[in-house]
Structure 1
Amino acid sequence: MNRTPTTAHSTRRSAPFARGRRRRDAGVVLVEFALVVNMLLGMGLGIYEFGFAWRTSAAVTSGARSAARTGSSLATDDSADYQALSSIRADLQASGLLDNLLLVVVYKSTTADGAVPASCKTNLSTSALCDIYTGAQVRAMVESDFSTTTGCMSGMIVANYCPDVRNSIMATADYVGVWVEVRHDYQTGMFGSGIEIKRNAVMRIEPRVA
């Protein structure tokens, strides 16, 4: 005589399958949760790093602009470079970035986009119209390091555009540019050790009547 399975027997037989399904569902949830957490963590760290990089970029931009403005107003004065570099030093010091300063180039801008001559960024000998200052020189400089004749610092690698040769005649006044390179160190190491942030600013020398 055949017996029809009772409800209790069916429940007992299906219980292991239900438990297995619940375990599988729980595992899927945990995997999805881990993926979401990793994604959110990556986004959070990215935003964090972007904020610090933006802060560094803003400080470097401010320093370049301040220096160009100073160089423009002082024109051929023998303190022009010293005062321009001092403004960069002050901006970076206030942002805690002075130790990360790598290079400063003061140059004659002759291109439509105001770009610094490529050879002036290599920290090597060049015939281009620029003055090259290392970060170490800017950090350690004092006013007496600068010639009262040319306005350039003694011991410079390149001194081809000292204040005394700049043109401040009203009709043909030079455009003086300042290019600043600063090392930005990443905080978390997620994107590597860091990058170099480079900014420049150009202003026309305030002219005088010939």
Structure 2
Amino acid sequence: MTSLLLVEGDALWREVTSLALRRYGYEVHTAVDGNDGLARFRELRPDVAVVDVVLPGLDGVSLVRRIRAESRAPVLLISSRTDPVDVVLGLEAGADDYVTKPFDIPVLVARIRSALRRATDYPTTAPSPRTSAMDFGDLRIDPAALTVRRSGRLLDLTPTELKLLLTFAARPAVVLSRTTLSERVWNCPRSDDKRLVDVHVQRLRHKIGDGHIVTVRGFGYRFEP
């Protein structure tokens, strides 16, 4: 049974969401605020965490940042705020995805499943059939070992960042639209894919170096071999 930590400050949302997720077969643990969420995460080490942006004490974005500093487990943000800044800050902190309230439970479950697949099923979901290591300048990508090195140093990529890089590396010098990247990395086209993709590309660039992923204005991104 997949263990899930739901960190939600609103009692009604917490109860309704946890009951619904249990019906889908998840082992759901809950926390009522950010500090409680961090303590529960460290105690339980869940397979996936779902974190509300607005939390008493330690806010959701700060909680995601603390979780990401010590774990690569998938983290999804949920928020009733419409300001895109909150979403961008959450993604930059290391969240893998986000869902806006009010949401349909099947949508949340689909996003959770997608995040878990990226984290646990790379050998079957990686976009490239190649298993030999690929060298791109100072970057060495090994699809079989699921490792990436820059100038010999092993990089600590999240599962989402790794799948995004594998998608780029499978099609060097080809322009990929944000919608295409959303479909291949997050397994579904999304109306909000621009922010989602842009922030993850930004995070990936910071880790692998700015020169590898080029922005093609009005079209998308191209990976430079």
TM-score by length of 2: 0.22
Q: Quick check: which one's helix share is greater?
A: 1
Look at both structures and tell me which one has the larger radius of gyration over its CA atoms: 1
- RCO comparison, higher one (Cα < 8 Å, 6+): 1
